[in-house]
Amino acid sequence: MQLLKTVEGLHCYLVRLRAAPAAQTVGLVPTMGALHQGHASLIQRARQDNDQVVVSIFVNPLQFGPGEDLDQYPRTLSEDLRQCHDLGVDAVFAPTAAVLYGDSLEAGVTQVVPPPAMTACLCGRFRPGHFTGVATVVTKLLNLVQPDRAYFGQKDAQQLAILQQLVRDLNIASQIVPCPTVREADGLAVSSRNRYLSPQERQQATVLYQGLQAAAQRFQQGECQGQVLIDTVQAVLATVPAVRPQYVELVHPQTLTPLWQIDTVGLLAVAAHVGQTRLIDNWWLRSRRPIIAIDGPAGAGKSTVARRVAQTLDLLYLDSGAMYRAITWLVLQRGIDPQDEVAVAEVIPDCEIRLAAGEPGTPFPSRIWINDQEVTRAIRSPAVTQHVSTVAAQPMVRQRLLQQQQVHGVHGGIVMEGRDIGTQVFPQAELKIFLTASVQERARRRQRDLAAQQHPPVSLEDLAQAIDERDRKDSTRRVAPLQQADDAIELCTDGLTIDDVVAKIVHLYHQSLNAAATTAD
Ligand code: AMP
């Protein structure tokens, strides 16, 4: 692991990376140090997704207001380095303020100001200038490291929403990856500031989580009115007078606009002082139907299983293959050469895709519209079939479809299969299945399929070798590599019929809904 303390050292490290024969993806985890389990979860996620992981450790003076804890903020560099090393980090960038801002901090630096509407609520109301400081330092870090992905915790939900807006508004190419809040066993969100708490305050601090849970429970029972949910949190906080709430608010998690009621999703957020320590926490409230994500290697039967599960549970099969076909259809329709990535990219901003369940009795798993024109049949033409893989391999096309798939995710009620659905597309899915089968079993199935298609016979060994090779490629590919989510249930289909597999998934689905209901009770 490299320790980089200067911008020059960081540049040198990155130049060496970019000169490597095989392209290296880079994940950045920005932190202020005093690393804990929350940071570790971000680093682990970055480790899973990227070839190289860079952690930055920098207590950013710009984001602290007068009278805040800049001087007392815990600084534990050698312990942090040990943790980074154990977590397999490749480089730690730990500059001083003078290194990062030069002399300009005193004289004033160019700053990045988030939209005022996003800082007029929650912590922004009580920490003027804080998010400008955060946006400025994160912009600098993204410019310096130019990572493929940067990882941020949902614990700091306002920061996350502002940074997602920032990369969109400033056309920064890094993807912001949100990571779930890590909690102590009693629910308290892990935070570097928890170490300021006395044992008694530590005990009292759990009331933040309990307040949010009480509101989440009312929400599960059908309460959507913002004020009622806020009052519920306030009432629980009031049971511990030593905890002094600063705000309890309900906002939209992306735009941060205040919500009077929840139609699809809301972010309930709280800040409170416990003794001298200011703590924050939040909880997402979603009134959407569940999502099932099915990932796994090629040939494990994912698409057949996903379609059947969707039919059985009356969920929408989110047919990504049909979505790629629809874009290809549009490209051909407009007379564009499918190989011309730039021309294809120009078409992308104005394609709006809509899916619905296929009509019974038709061979199509879903109905599909592009820009309000139904293309369910048209996308099955030989011309589309011939060009779809060329179009689907283009990163801009993938990015656009990812956005559109995630829009479906807002309302839920879907089943989707692929290689990274549980990790990248719908990390919030209620049920994640990793569907596998041994190489031997997949080779046998492939041999049966080929025979059924009157194909000349191929030996099991050759088929097994090809499958092995495909697995290796799929797990190491740069775009959308095959990934098993930490919370996915692995289901090996060796010796099982399709009916068996579908029945198992349907059972797991009901189990996961029951578990969610029990947690909420
Ligand atoms: P900080 O060092 O406090 O600036 O945090 C660095 C990153 O870790 C931010 O993206 C935080 O949102 C994230 N983080 C802090 N606490 C947690 C937690 N308990 N769970 C998940 N992420 C966290």
pLDDT at 515: 56
Over residues 287-310, the pLDDT tens digits come to: 778 899 999 998 898 989 999 999
- Is position 186 within any domain? no
| Core vs surface per residue 340-350: b (16+ CB within 10 A) or e | ebeebeebbee
Q: How many CA atoms lie within 13 A of 114 on its CB side?
A: 31
Same domain, 370 and 501: yes
CB 84 within 8 A of CB 35: yes
Report yes or no on 187 lying in a domain. no
29 CA distance to ligand 1 middle (Å)? 9
Q: Give dist(CA 359, CA 505) in Å, integer.
A: 23
Domain-located, residue 141 = yes
Best mutation site among 77, 151, 156 for ligand 1, i.e. most ligand atoms within 8 A of its Cβ?
156
Residue 486: CATH number of its domain: 3.40.50.300
Domain co-membership, 316 together with 247: no
130 noted as active-site residue: no
H or E element, residue 295: strand 291-295
- The structure tokens listed for 419 are 């290689």
Q: State residue 162's pLDDT score.
A: 98
- Domain finish residue from 118, 148, 179: 179
Specify the pLDDT at position 516: 53
Same domain flag for 240 and 305: no
pLDDT of residue 485: 87
- Residue 77 structural domain: 2-179
Q: Which residues contact 252 (CB under 8 A, 6 or more apart)?
A: 259, 265, 266, 267
What is the DSSP secondary-structure string of 225-243? BHHHHHHHHHHHHTTSTTE
| Amino acid residing at 36 | H
Residue 368 Cα to ligand 1 middle (Å): 40
Q: Is the CB of 42 under 6 A from ligand 1?
A: yes
Contact 108, 18 (CB under 8 A): no
Minimum-distance ligand 1 atom for the alpha carbon of 151: 10
**Ligand 1 centroid from CA 486, angstroms:** 19
SS (H, E, C) 92-143: EECCCHHHHHCCHHHHCCCCCCCCHHHHCCHHHHHCCCHHHHHHHHHHHHHH
Is residue 115 located within the same domain as residue 54?
Answer: yes
Which of 124, 146, 179 lies at the terminal end of a domain, its last residue? 179
Residues 107 and 65 in one domain: yes
Q: Which residues of the chain have pLDDT under 50?
A: 517-521
Domain contains 335: yes
State whether 490 and 431 are in the same domain: yes
